[in-house]
Amino acid sequence: MTVHNHIHPHQQDIEDTPFTEKMLLAQAVEELIIKKGLTSPEKLREQIEFLDSREPAIGARLVAQSWLDPVFKQELLDSVNQAAHKIGIDTGEVPIQAVENTDKIHNVIVCTLCSCYPRMLIGLPPDWYKSREYRSRTVREPREVLKEFGTRISDEIEICVHDSTADLRYIVLPLRPKGTRSWNIDRLAKLVTRDSMIGVSQASIQ
Amino acid sequence: MNKAKYVKGDKIKISSLFPPGHVRTPFFIRGKNGIIDYFWGTYPNPEELAYGREGVPGHPLYKVKFKQFDLWENYEGSPQDSLSIDIYENWLEPIK
């Protein structure tokens, strides 16, 4: 057995940093809405758990299904909420619009005003999606931003940036990679990444 | 303001206004020319909702499409590159 003869730096616990004003505000609002009887601790926890259970695998299943079934794809393009509901996925009440990549157009999503994001289908947004840099540069120089994600789109293809400024949320239907003709839904769904549904990358076999 | 004033293909300009308060029209799009791409329906007015009011009457909401070259000087990309954005009717002006 080796002798433990060095000192480790103190690792901070959550309580070692002071509460921020926003943390206190959230705590105060939570206590207030419970005291006022607007909700209960159980209902609040259920809602948090529901939001935490949202993950890119949900969106990936929808995309893979749309690759396999043209009728479902059309339903998805007409209304993501209704199409998802049909296969047992609850997407909440905020309308979600799917935008389809083709050999003529590549779509990418941003929210320049805040960080609107299709949370119900792919979970919480990554930090970069909320950054000032992503929000300001994606509308101004989308091709440069995509390059930084390792995504090069031919000049022949239109890049359409969707700025979700209002009541709708967007999700990109990436192009189905070539060479996946006989693949089943589980195998296809694994190709559909979070970033490909934001539009900063493409689905690929590698 | 419940009936949609514009249809797909209409040429519009985004109002070049700078009112105080909460609005959902980004600065970079104000004063720019675009084309109505889709009518989404009528939604509660966000400029009222933001202050705890009901947002009634609702505002018609449109998807408006712009050519990137019409938005930015020295845009580096393809001529067909576009930007699509959701804008409420009170921010749209017809282009004759």
Q: Does residue A29 surpass a pLDDT of 90?
A: yes
How much is the pLDDT for A15? 83
* B32 C-beta neighbours (distance < 10 Å), count: 18
Q: What is the mean pLDDT of residues A171-199?
A: 97
pLDDT in tens, A122-137: 999 999 999 999 999 9
pLDDT in tens, B60-77: 999 999 999 999 999 999
pLDDT in tens, A85-139: 999 999 988 999 999 999 999 999 999 998 899 999 999 999 999 999 999 999 9
Domain covering B11-94: architecture: Roll (2.30)
Domain with CATH 3.90.330.10 in chain A: 56-198
Q: How many Å apart are CA B23 and CA A144, to the nearest integer?
A: 29
Instruction: Give the active site residues of A.
Output: 111, 114-116
Q: Does residue A11 surpass a pLDDT of 90?
A: no
B92 closest CA partner among B30, B28, B43, B27: B30
Whether A144 and B76 lie within 8 Å, measured CB to CB: yes
Distance from CA of B77 to the nearest CA of A (A): 7
Test mutation, A167, A168, A171, A172, chain B, max B CBs within 10 A: A167
Residues of B in contact with A142 (CB under 8 A): 68, 77, 81
The CATH code belonging to domain A56-198 is 3.90.330.10
Among A5-19, A70-84, B19-33, B45-59, the minimum mean pLDDT is found in A5-19
pLDDT in tens, A149-181: 999 999 999 999 999 999 999 999 999 999 999
Q: Does residue A5 surpass a pLDDT of 90?
A: no
SS3 B61: strand
Of the candidates B26, B28, B80, the beta carbon closest to that of A158 is on B80
Residues of B in contact with A100 (CB under 8 A): none
Q: Does residue B87 surpass a pLDDT of 60?
A: yes
Distance from CA of A76 to the nearest CA of B (A): 16
pTM score: 0.91
**Distance between terminal CA atoms of chain A?**
44
Confidence of residue A190 (pLDDT cuts 50, 70, 90): very high
B66 closest CA partner among B39, B19, B17, B28: B28
Residues of B in contact with A132 (CB under 8 A): none
Whether A165 and B43 lie within 8 Å, measured CB to CB: no
Q: How many Å apart are CA A8 and CA A18, to the nearest integer?
A: 23
A82 closest CA partner among A98, A102, A67: A98
Of the candidates B61, B77, B83, the beta carbon closest to that of A143 is on B77
How much is the pLDDT for A3? 79
How much is the pLDDT for A12? 86
A172-188 burial, b at 16+ Cβ within 10 Å, e below that, comes to bbbbbbeeeeebeeeeb
Confidence of residue A187 (pLDDT cuts 50, 70, 90): very high
Q: What percent of chain A has pLDDT over 90?
A: 88
Of the candidates A140, A144, A162, the beta carbon closest to that of B72 is on A140
pLDDT in tens, B25-53: 999 999 999 999 999 999 999 999 999 99
How much is the pLDDT for A72? 97
Distance from CA of A165 to the nearest CA of B (A): 6
Q: Does residue B2 surpass a pLDDT of 60?
A: no
